């Protein structure tokens, strides 16, 4: 268990380990969330993943009951235990084709107990950035960035507040995903995205500040500055025509290939 866990988080982990270990429905208990990723506050909750037997997972699936919230399992005031039910096959599938947010959720996960052989190896496979996808993702994210930059001007012309808000957020999203992909870092979903981008060793100078400026003051000028800062950072190897084609493919045709939506890929 990492030495930087706060004592009350350690105590709660020990408590829930003892609570669930005796139940034969649960084959393993994983500790995830902010406390294993160096992002916790003293009042942070304890996020867990219970790996169930296949029989129990079938029952839960029939009831669509995949999460739980258990404040009584916390040993500190204001704390709670937030959990998800998974089975071993889910882990194997995640290692093969999990989305980046799924992979990131297993990063630094602690195995509190387990009877599953090679579980640690499986978790390491899940949490790896998929290098074979890097080039395709960079091209796709650049296509989105290029078109979203154009859409900002269109939204201004039409005084379309919804479109302006949406494409500004997407401009920051796909600009950030370009930086994460360049650094071979997983996209953690939206809550922690900017934190991960801030950790990225290679990014344009002032990237976070430019993103915040764009979000707080969405105009064609702030969008242009943000867009050009990213395009000037390096040669992304995508022509304008390729960018448009990638945008069309990823926005309108991705479902034909059985792939997640680009925002989560």
Work out the pLDDT band at 254, boundaries 50, 70, 90. confident
Quick: pLDDT tens for 138-172. 999 999 999 999 999 999 999 999 999 999 999 99
Which residues touch 90 (CB under 8 Å, ≥6 apart)?
57
Q: CATH 3.30.460.10 region(s) of the chain? A: 7-126
- Asked if residue 68 has pLDDT above 60, the reply is yes
What is the distance between the alpha carbons of residues 201 and 178, in angstroms, rounded to a whole number? 13
- Asked if residue 2 has pLDDT above 80, the reply is no
Quick: pLDDT tens for 175-224. 999 999 999 999 999 999 999 999 999 999 999 999 999 999 999 999 99
Average pLDDT over residues 58-87: 97
- Asked if residue 3 has pLDDT above 80, the reply is no
pLDDT of amino acid 248? 94
Query: Model's pTM, two decimal places?
Result: 0.94
Cβ pair 50, 17 in contact under 8 A: no
What is the distance between the alpha carbons of residues 114 and 157, in angstroms, rounded to a whole number? 58
How are strands ordered across the β-sheet holding 46-52?
A: 67-70, 81-87, 46-52, 26-32, 110-114
Average pLDDT over residues 59-86: 97
DSSP for 122-159, written as a single string: HHHHHTS--GGGHHHHHHHHHHHHHHHHHHHHHHHHHT
Pick from 185, 132, 188, 166: nearest CA to 251: 166
**CATH class of residue range 131-257:** mainly alpha
Q: CATH 1.20.120 region(s) of the chain? A: 131-257
Question: Residue 160: enclosing H or E segment and its boundaries?
Answer: none
- Asked if residue 1 has pLDDT above 80, the reply is no
Token pair listed for 228: 């050009």
What is the DSSP-derived secondary structure letter of residue 23? -
Centre a 10 Å sphere on the Cβ of residue 186 and count the other Cβ atoms it contains: 23
At the topology level, CATH places domain 7-126 in: Beta Polymerase; domain 2 (3.30.460)
Centre a 10 Å sphere on the Cβ of residue 144 and count the other Cβ atoms it contains: 24
- Output the average pLDDT for the chain: 96
Pick from 184, 27, 192, 194: nearest CA to 119: 27
Average pLDDT over residues 26-48: 96
Average pLDDT over residues 125-142: 98
Pick from 101, 122, 118, 128: nearest CA to 265: 101
């Amino acid at each position: 268990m990492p030495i930087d866990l706060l004592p009350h988080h350690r105590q709660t982990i020990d408590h829930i380990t003892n609570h669930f270990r005796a139940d034969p429905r649960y084959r393993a208990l994983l500790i995830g969330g902010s406390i294993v990723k160096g992002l916790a506050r003293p009042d942070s909750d304890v996020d867990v993943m219970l790996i169930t037997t296949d029989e129990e997972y079938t029952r839960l699936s029939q009831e669509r009951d995949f999460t739980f919230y258990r404040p009584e399992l916390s040993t500190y005031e204001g704390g709670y235990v937030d959990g998800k039910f998974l089975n071993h096959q889910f882990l194997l599938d995640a290692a093969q084709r999990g989305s980046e947010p799924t992979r990131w959720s297993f990063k630094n996960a602690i195995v509190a107990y387990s009877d599953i052989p090679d579980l640690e190896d499986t978790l390491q496979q899940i949490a790896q950035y998929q290098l074979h996808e890097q080039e395709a993702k960079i091209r796709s994210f650049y296509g989105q960035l290029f078109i979203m930059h154009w859409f900002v001007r269109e939204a201004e012309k039409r005084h379309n507040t919804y479109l302006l808000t949406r494409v500004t957020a997407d401009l920051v999203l796909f600009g950030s995903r370009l930086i994460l992909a360049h650094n071979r870092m997983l996209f953690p979903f939206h809550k922690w995205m900017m934190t991960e981008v801030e950790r990225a060793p290679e990014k344009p100078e002032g990237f976070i500040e430019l993103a915040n400026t764009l979000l707080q003051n969405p105009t064609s000028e702030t969008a242009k500055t943000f867009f050009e800062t990213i395009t000037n950072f390096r040669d992304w190897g995508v022509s304008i025509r390729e960018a448009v084609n990638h945008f069309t493919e990823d926005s309108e045709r991705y479902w034909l290939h059985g792939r997640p939506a680009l925002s989560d890929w």
